[in-house]
A and B are shown apart, each in its own frame.
Chain A
Amino acid sequence: MDNTDGRNLRSSESWNHAGRPFITTSVLFSFLLGVPFLWKSVEIYRSPLPFHDIDSLSDQIESTPLRFPCNFHAVFVGFRSTDPDNLRSQIQDGINQLTHQNSQCGSCNFSLSVTVQNRDDQCSETLAHSSTTCSYRCGVIKRNVFGVGVDDTVDESLNDVFSGCSEESGKMYSVVVVNKENANGEDEVKAVVGKGRHAWIVGNGLEERYGDMVARVSEIFVKVFMNGGREEDSIQGEFMPVGSDGRIVLSFSLLNSNPRDWVYDWDFQRIDEALLAPVTKALAPIANISVESQVLYHTPKSSFSSWDKKLQSYIFRTSALPFFVNSNEWHLDTSAGASGRSKILQFVVYIPSGKECPLLLQLPNGEISKTNGFISPIWGGVIVWNPGNCDKDSESSSRNTISPQDLEQIVEIFLGQFRQLFGFKSEAFYTSGLGTYKILPSDRGFTEWELDVLSTKHTCFNLHSCSTTLGSLSRLVRSLPRMIIKDEIGEQVKYSLKAAKLAQSNASLGEYSSSASSSREARSLAENAFFHPSIMSVSYFSYEHCFAVYSPFFLPVAGHVVLAALREWKRYKQEKAKYLTWLTRKKTA
């Protein structure tokens, strides 16, 4: 009895020992083994972003504003007894005063040198540093060139003198002050800024008022060459019409408001090749510009004009300008070439109908505008062109073409508007408290020094925009720990940072155009990374969602397995205790 009990007990116990707990624990362990695999499978791929580099870039851009090296050179011709060192310190003071010693982004880290050439063509000079290629050869500038001929010839000759200096670190800007001693002694002082990086001031008896001259020279250096003749402003977005992918699309539209009166066409191909291509090429470091054109019909304007008897024409005032562009009938935004992030600038030539011809714009002071056009920042410009004689009876209803001369005039106004959209003035004068400076226009739309100003301002803007975009991106990525970051985004961030560093180093070397194009690239890559379509927070699970998704699969089964294992463990312990008591009883028995 006892034996059979013991045998039964033993056999059942041995089974209990090895069988049931073993099975349950093995199931439990297999579950536990699978947990790392599960963890790995729900792991999301996040391309590692260089957060530290992004932060350091934005810190750097905030704390040390970018400055470009420039060389200023002042030449005083026909001055007898002036000391160049004295002049140099005075001009330096003047410049420092005008820049208020503030180092804004894009300002010049300048080095100044002064040369005085007296009437016998002997020179004394102070040089900021020994620059061999750019030293001014004494006597090259002759006093009799000035004041005689047209400004263009003077400009050409000065260009020849100073053109050897473009290879230095930073560009060389020169101002020539010429003191003529004429018998007829006119008192007037003429100041002209040339197409290259030079300007000149001509006058009589300048030596006596050389304090004035010093002030004007400083003003030219700061207000004209450094700031481009614009008001002192911070980097304003309204005059940076470059799209975030570095492209601008110029969309030209010719609007025939009432084709029943007359229909006009234009030879845009010719304009594009002859007149717009040089401008596009000149601005290549700053923006990739493409040009489109279209002709539209039945496009009335939506503001009103009134007949003026004295001028024998229809007048529209500046108060009506906000309502001029009739967006319901003017389908201007039909560009096929512009991608989602390019900037389109609309240039519209409006041909009024017979009922409103000629249509002239009256300025607030009562005068009639000579250009008959207006711009709107960031949007574009409108020009109203009146057909020749406004006589609709004699016009046949066949298509007319705008004559080449008229077309050239229109394009000139366009280029003026284009300059305004970039923040420059469209007029050819710069006026300050000290006097007026005449600015020679260039056939590329922008003079060399204006292109330099554009490059520096755009470099600053692009770098600032790039760093804020990358900063936003890194904050966004860090705030969503379960969002997938694709490799593409990581690459774009990396290249953007590289391009930004390149832009900064180019800027410190004085390479304006290459820093502008690197900064443009940096900005466009940063924007591509930020606006990547896969960054949508609504598509990715937070930890709570992840738990909510997987728990219905695993929790019930896992619960059962764990409970079973616990039960088996308890039962094992009970049986073990029983076996031990049976053993001790057997021993004592």
Chain B
Amino acid sequence: MKILLILGLLLCYSFVSSSGDTTIHTNNWAVLVCTSRFWFNYRHMANTLSLYRTVKRLGIPDERIILMLADDMACNARNEYPAQVFNNENHKLNLYGDNVEVDYRGYEVTVENFLRVLTGRHENAVPRSKRLLSDEGSHILLYMTGHGGDEFLKFQDAEELQSHDLADAVKQMKEKRRFKELMIMVDTCQAATLFNQLQSPGVLAIGSSLKGENSYSHHLDSDIGVSVVDRFTYYTLAFFERLNIYDNASLNSLFRSYDPRLLMSTAYYRTDLYQPHLVELWRPFILIQLTKPSQVKSPIVRAIPRCHSINFPSTMQTSQMMS
């Protein structure tokens, strides 16, 4: 049997990667980690779930998101609204609504498992949905929230992730070419100290506060009884709510949107590990790079699938974040 002779010519766009090396950007991943237990840390869970929802809305599918939640707030006995998690006291948006896929839950969220996810050293029996299957063209967003301090992040109230552990894991990821660009976003107290030992190129780090500063929660929901969202995450989400999957935005505009008076801390970002000219350019944020034109080749069109979710009813999104 013969293959059909396939005819036709097409144009070929060339996608020039702006990071200067020869790999092209193939896919986007997100690793979202909430490290706190107990009911009074409700806001950390809400932070992570809000970011999960945003990331899905902007186009990263579940199979490329690793969501680690250290405790279960939705089904907690103290939750007056069972199976619902809110990040705003107007309760307009249920974060735990439909299609939430948690990969590591409860006591599985440990420093060891977290580092295994980053470095890829799992036991053979670990299923694919729990692995970070990125390749050398992946852009990864790593978001961590919880309680932290000077050069550490507390996991589950029992152990700590040190800054050198994180730096070591990132170094190994870079050696094994598991990412093209990595963006680390941390919302804890003294978050910037966690990046002190990072040295691998291609890493962008954003922390919610400097050494000696605390990061605060945004507001208290008197109905639920605890604070429901942190300030840094609140303003980050406010920035993303203005975007949809077709937009381009730059990192600089994200940085500029942080107001230290509203945050009550100084948002810190470390860009020295990027090539310097990049940050000045109008460079799309990694999530929104989904919309760059695909490479088209003859005769079968060649494209990079930027998968995106069904549009959630977006009417409820815009107003409640600003309230």
Contacts and interface: CB of A to CB of B under 8 A. Distances in A.
Interface of A: 234, 236-238, 274-275, 302, 318-319, 321-329, 333, 335, 338-340, 361, 363-365, 367, 369-371, 373-379, 381, 408-409, 412-413, 415-417, 420, 426-428, 441, 443, 445, 469, 472, 475-476, 530-533, 535-539
B176 interface: yes
Contact of A361 (B135, B137, B301, B304): B301
A328 B62 CA distance: 7
Given A363-B10, A364-B11, A469-B176, A416 B305 contact: no
Contacts of A322: 290-291, 294, 303-306
A530 to B, nearest CB: 7
B122 A376 contact: no
A340 B305 contact: no
Interface string B109-120: 001100110011
A327 B306 CA distance: 9
Nearest to A531: B121
A277 B8 CA distance: 29
A365 B116 contact: no
Given A321-B301, A376-B304, A237 B309 contact: no
A574 B306 CA distance: 88
B303 A327 contact: no
B301 A340 contact: no
A150 B3 CA distance: 16
A377 B6 contact: no
Interface of B is mostly: loop
A443 B176 contact: no
Q: Which 6 A-B pairs have the closest CB atoms?
A: A327-B61, A327-B307, A374-B301, A321-B303, A325-B305, A322-B306
25 contacts: A238-B24, A275-B1, A302-B308, A302-B310, A319-B293, A323-B245, A327-B63, A328-B56, A329-B310, A340-B128, A340-B133, A361-B301, A364-B296, A365-B11, A367-B8, A369-B299, A377-B26, A378-B135, A441-B5, A469-B176, A531-B119, A532-B121, A535-B121, A537-B165, A538-B111
Contacts of B176: 469, 472, 530
Contact of A237 (B4, B8, B23, B307): B23
Interface residues of B, number: 65
Given A302-B310, A318-B294, A379-B26, 18 more contacts: A319-B293, A321-B303, A322-B306, A363-B299, A363-B301, A371-B300, A376-B303, A376-B304, A378-B26, A378-B137, A441-B2, A445-B3, A472-B176, A531-B119, A531-B121, A533-B122, A533-B123, A538-B112
B140 to A, nearest CB: 16
B305 A371 contact: no
Contacts of B307: 302, 323, 325-328
Contacts of B303: 318, 321-322, 324, 374-376
B199 interface: no
Contacts of B128: 333, 335, 338, 340
Contacts of A234: 22
Given A340-B128, A363-B10, A420-B302, A476 B123 contact: no
B7 A370 contact: yes
Nearest to B168: A537
B291 to A, nearest CB: 7
Contacts of B7: 370, 427
Nearest to B161: A538
A379 to B, nearest CB: 6
A370 B6 contact: yes
A380 B299 CA distance: 16
B4 A409 contact: yes
B131 interface: yes
A533 B304 CA distance: 32
B112 A539 contact: yes
A106 B6 CA distance: 29
